[in-house]
Structure 1
């Protein structure tokens, strides 16, 4: 849902809500709507409702509902139910009383428990409106993201069909080259095997939304080995990752973009300042770091298309549950990606 459309819906809601509420008050309760106290009370009460509504809608719901933190959501709702009468009491029974000399409640009814109970109708009502509004927005955006992913996937499949050369033909050819060179040139044979494994991984494993983390690490290692081979091993890079990856899963082909960027823009022959690719797992989360120096004449744009695509993909897969921090100066670039492990 676009911001403009969201604002329009909210404006319509508040016009109807305030209009109906004031109409009901004028008919049933308030006969002196022109008095100073009544005007100030109505304005203050509306501002309080807006405060509680958007505190829940903009702060609490986005931090809890997408991450399924239901206990925190429930605790926060109870907190707002208490916050509502607390603010109302200060405004109406303290501030307005000093201005107008009138109380809203009889002094004998200003027992804290009774005051919270008597205001619970208004606080719960506005919280329910904010929850329903956020859930509608969340479902709207989720459906839009799913539809966009489906369209993008279909487009990618169509492009793959247009450009496809039979993978079996390539695999069989590479395996044939490997067999021919195994005895006479084992180094080249090993490189061909790595290339075959990479091609197989990109062709088949990338069809899955999630892949084993250990397979992704092997893919990156093969990429690095072939890149080193291309430059006769004169590549300054350190690649570290834990051995105990078990059955962790991550989105397929998520990390190769950062490795390609490091090779494309980084200084690859400075052994005092090598390219650093580091993978760690902590508390069920993956922490991926890529850092490198680059020449002052290089154009290293952290806002490039590749990073935008990665950010968009992460926002769809892990809304409010990931981070991609970029540090950059005139000669140094570092990106740190943190995502939950499946």
Structure 2
């Protein structure tokens, strides 16, 4: 939902809410009340409702509902049910009384428990409206994201079908080269096999949203091996990863972008300052780090389309349950990524 639509819906809601509320008061409330007190009380009461509504809508709900922290949400609702009469008491029974000499409640009824109970109708009412409003917004945004992902996936599937002939042709050709060179040049044959595995992985596994972590690690290792082969092994890189990744899964082709960046922009021939790629699992989370030295004349595009796409993808798949930190100082470029394992 766009901000303009959201603001418009809120304005319509408050126009109807306040209008119906004032109509009800004009019918049920006595007309012989002091006009100054009545005006100030109405303004203060409306501002209090706005405060409680948007405390819940803008701060509490976004921190609890997307992450399914239901117990914290319930505790916060009870807290606001108490905050509402507390603020109202200070405003009406203390400040307004000093200004106008009028109490809203009979002094005999100013018992704390009774005051909270008597105001619970107003506080619960505004809290329910804010909860319903946020749930509708959350549902709208979630459906929009799912629809966008579905369309993007269908477009990718269509493109994959159009290009289906090319991968099959390449697989068959590479396998033929591998067979021809297996006996005469086993080193080149091994590289061709790695290239074939990488092509197959990119072609087929990328169609899945999630892939096995161990398969992603093999893909990264093959990429590193072929990069070393390209420069006759004169590549300073350290790749550390868990030997037993189990059945953990991560989003497909998520990490290769950072590896490509490190090799493309980093200094890869300084064995005193190698490119360091580390993968580890801890407490059900994946921790990925990449560090590389770079030339001062070489600037990284931190706001490039690659980083933006990955950030957007992580935000959709792991809203507020991941971290991606990219730091660059005078000599080093550092990437740190954590996300939950499936």
Normalized against structure 1, the TM-score is what?
Answer: 0.95
For residue 187 of structure 1, give the secondary structure of its aligned residue in structure 2. Answer: helix
**In the alignment, what sits opposite 2:241?**
241
Alpha-carbon displacement from aligned partner over 1:122-155 (angstroms, at most 9, x marks no partner)? 1111111111111111111111111111221222
Query: Is the 8 Å Cα contact of residues 276 and 290 (structure 1) preserved in structure 2?
Result: yes
Instruction: Quote the Cα distance in structure 2 between the aligned partners of 1:57 and 1:280.
Output: 38
* Runs of 4+ more than 4 Å apart: none
Per-residue deviation at 1:157? 2.4
The total of aligned residue pairs comes to 342
Instruction: Quote the Cα distance in structure 2 between the aligned partners of 1:33 and 1:107.
Output: 17
Per-residue deviation at 1:320? 1.9
Query: Is the 8 Å Cα contact of residues 109 and 115 (structure 1) preserved in structure 2?
Result: yes
Alpha-carbon displacement from aligned partner over 1:304-327 (angstroms, at most 9, x marks no partner)? 111111111112111222221121
**In the alignment, what sits opposite 1:143?**
143
1:81-160 matched pairs, under 5 angstroms = 81-160=81-160
Per-residue deviation at 1:270? 1.6
Q: In 2 relative to 1, CA 329–52 (structure 1 residues): closer, same or farther, beyond 3 Å?
A: same
Per-residue deviation at 1:99? 2.1
Q: In 2 relative to 1, CA 194–40 (structure 1 residues): closer, same or farther, beyond 3 Å?
A: same
Instruction: Quote the Cα distance in structure 2 between the aligned partners of 1:150 and 1:113.
Output: 52
Q: Larger deviation: 230-239 or 290-299?
A: 290-299
1:293-312 matched pairs, under 5 angstroms = 293-312=293-312
Instruction: Quote the Cα distance in structure 2 between the aligned partners of 1:282 and 1:78.
Output: 36
For residue 204 of structure 1, give the secondary structure of its aligned residue in structure 2. Answer: helix
Q: Larger deviation: 34-43 or 73-82?
A: 34-43
**In the alignment, what sits opposite 2:180?**
180
Instruction: Quote the Cα distance in structure 1 between the aligned partners of 2:159 and 2:34.
Output: 69
1:248-259 matched pairs, under 5 angstroms = 248-259=248-259
Per-residue deviation at 1:33? 7.0
1:13-24 matched pairs, under 5 angstroms = 13-24=13-24
For residue 270 of structure 1, give the secondary structure of its aligned residue in structure 2. Answer: coil
Q: In 2 relative to 1, CA 229–95 (structure 1 residues): closer, same or farther, beyond 3 Å?
A: same
Query: Is the 8 Å Cα contact of residues 26 and 33 (structure 1) preserved in structure 2?
Result: no
**In the alignment, what sits opposite 1:317?**
317
**In the alignment, what sits opposite 2:332?**
332
**Structure 2, gaps ≥5 residues long:** none
Per-residue deviation at 1:90? 1.8
Instruction: Quote the Cα distance in structure 2 between the aligned partners of 1:255 and 1:31.
Output: 70
Alpha-carbon displacement from aligned partner over 1:63-97 (angstroms, at most 9, x marks no partner)? 11111111211121111111111221222222222
**In the alignment, what sits opposite 2:54?**
54
Instruction: Quote the Cα distance in structure 2 between the aligned partners of 1:247 and 1:91.
Output: 59
- Taking only aligned residues, the RMSD between alpha carbons, in angstroms, comes to 1.7
1:247-286 matched pairs, under 5 angstroms = 247-286=247-286
Per-residue deviation at 1:178? 2.0
Q: Does 1:189 align with 2:189?
A: yes
Q: In 2 relative to 1, CA 151–32 (structure 1 residues): closer, same or farther, beyond 3 Å?
A: farther
**In the alignment, what sits opposite 1:10?**
10
Instruction: Quote the Cα distance in structure 2 between the aligned partners of 1:244 and 1:98.
Output: 72
Q: Larger deviation: 122-131 or 233-242?
A: 233-242
Instruction: Quote the Cα distance in structure 2 between the aligned partners of 1:316 and 1:129.
Output: 27
For residue 165 of structure 2, give the secondary structure of its aligned residue in structure 1. Answer: coil
Q: In 2 relative to 1, CA 212–39 (structure 1 residues): closer, same or farther, beyond 3 Å?
A: same
Per-residue deviation at 1:34? 6.5
Normalized against structure 2, the TM-score is what?
Answer: 0.95
